[in-house]
Amino acid sequence: MQHHPRRGSTPTPQRVRDVLKPISGAAVGNMLEWFDYSLYGYLSATLAKVFFPSSDPIVSLIAAFAAFSVAFVTRPLGALFFGSLGDRLGRRDTLAIVVGLISVSTGLVGVLPGYEAIGIAAPLLLVALRMIQGFSAGGEAGGALAFLAEYAPTRRRGVVIGFFGMSAGIGALSGSGLVLAITSIFGQTAVEAWAWRLPFLIAGPIGLGAFWLRLRIEETPAFRLHLEREGAAQAPLREALRDDWRSIVKCLGVAISHGIPYYLILAYLPSYLVSTGRLSSGQALAASGLAFLGSVIVIPFAAALSDRVGRRPVAFTAALAYLVVALPLFRIVVGSTPEVVIATMASVGVLMGMYGSAPFCMMTELFPTRTRYSAMSVGYNVAMVLFGGTAPLISASLTKLTGNPSSPAYFMMGGAVLSIFAILASPETSRVPIDELGQSDEHIRRVRMALKASARVE
């Protein structure tokens, strides 16, 4: 079934400054999600000792990464639940519920007793909280991206959606900065004993502030108009899986090369380099933090470029670059001096920034307003489950099985190939009005041709 043009149009702001409040509301929750994941990633080596003690540090690390990955098992369930809720109840209220759950479950990690105190119950409770975090996070990306797209000026939608990628980088960067500060102030011994709890405890109040902020923002213009014209979809998830399954598959493919590199830089490489003695904790955090800082700097420029030249050229270039540099990157990182490792990981931030802009626009613009939250949540989160959240576990296991510390590069390269195919299969959607999105590729092409013809006349 194809979506047909609708009468009328959604009134959208003409300037980015007009939507700064909605941008902040959408971005703060995504920032908290990545702050949470970065804390677990950067503290994986410490959490492995606290909750999964073993005589072999690599085995402990694999167990910690398994607990990290288990959150992604419940992400699709959260995507199904919150996606459907967001297309029926609305984006704003659903996103407020999501960030509330994330903040509470993250804060509770900070008060968990360790394995020495309560034995096997400690890792089980950690896994339970990770599952709650994953369930709530399943409703974050799809909702935040829909929220941003539906508020954005048509010609500046790339720039506005770019704040989503920037907030992810800022969240991860904040996590690395906080862990680095606590490690510097208290020392590694204190961090392993008790100070690892502080970042998780700090995350709780931040999340409650995000909850309050989201409740103070109005529903998106596109969703309000959709309710006036058609009413809320009664079964948006069913409609999305029936009508938009091809676009969901494309979304999944595009998302792969966001998930794998992010979680390798966020969780795997810092912990691996520390556990094998190649870098100190401070050096690993600095390297990872510089990568995310680079991405935050590059994203607004790449997003603006996608508004000018299109989503596909920017996304394709970034995915192709991942394919080309993956193996040299790993060989340098696992076999060079600390200074070279830090510089190399910092340079990866450029690619992360390029892929943190246009691809998110592509994914969001594949779907209609009626089912955008549901469809986007399913496609994105399935990719995160299969490729993103499992990246640290798969990488650690590959290294253990092969004895080759560069072997995770092939996993990253395979993901890049899948993303390239998905990008080439997706339509160019820049400058297409929000009401016209989610229809057939041919319809999108006709709309873009009409817009170009109109621009030439003007």
Helix, strand, coil fractions of the chain, as percent rounded to 5? 80, 0, 20
Tens of pLDDT, residues 14-24: 566 668 888 88
Helix residue spans in 12-90 (DSSP H) = 20-42, 44-51, 57-88
Instruction: With respect to residue 97, please indicate whether it lies within any of the assigned structural domains.
Output: yes
Task: Write the single-letter amino acid at 263.
Answer: Y
Judged against a pLDDT cut of 90, whether residue 256 lies above it is answered with: yes
Q: Is residue 7 part of a domain?
A: no
CATH code for the domain in which residue 446 is found: 1.20.1250.20
Domain count for the chain: 1
| Type of residue numbered 364 | T
Whether 3 is in a domain gets the answer: no
Instruction: State how far the Cα of 435 lies from the Cα of 151, in Å rounded to an integer.
Output: 12
Range of the domain at 191: 16-457
Run of H or E including 446: helix 441-457
- Beta strand spans in 223-308 (E): none
Instruction: Report whether pLDDT(369) > 90.
Output: yes
Maximum pairwise Cα distance, the chain: 74
How large is the C-alpha radius of gyration of the chain?
Answer: 21
Of the ranges 209-218, 237-246, 270-279, 326-335, which one carries the lowest mean pLDDT score? 270-279
Q: Cβ of 347: how many Cβ atoms within 10 Å? A: 15
Cα–Cα distance measured from residue 313 to residue 181, given in angstroms and rounded to the nearest whole number: 39
* End-to-end CA separation in angstroms for the chain: 35
Q: What is the pTM of this model?
A: 0.88
* Domain-located, residue 277: yes
Q: Of 300-304, 334-338, 367-371, 417-421, where does mean pLDDT reach its minimum?
A: 334-338
Q: Does 67 map to a domain?
A: yes
pLDDT in tens, 52-102: 887 667 777 778 778 877 888 898 999 999 999 999 999 999 999 999 999
- pLDDT tens profile 27-39: 888 898 888 878 8
What are the CA-CA distances from residue 155 to residues 149, 305, 432 (Å)?
11, 11, 8
Phi, psi of 17, deg, nearest 5: -60, -25
List the structure tokens of 298.
Answer: 């590059």
Rounded to 10 deg, the angle between the 140-151 and 121-137 helix axes is: 20
Inside any domain, residue 245:
yes
Q: Would you say residue 328 lies in a domain?
A: yes
Most confident of 14-18, 299-303, 349-353: 299-303
The answer, yes or no, to whether residue 375 has pLDDT greater than 70, is: yes
Beta carbons within 8 Å of 29's beta carbon, 6+ residues apart? 95, 98, 99, 102, 140, 144, 210, 214
Whether 311 maps to a domain, the answer reads yes
Cβ atoms 142, 377 nearer than 8 A: yes
pLDDT-derived band at 7 (thresholds 50, 70, 90) equals: very low
Q: 362: Cβ–Cβ under 8 A, 6 or more apart, which residues?
A: 254, 311, 312, 315, 423, 426, 429
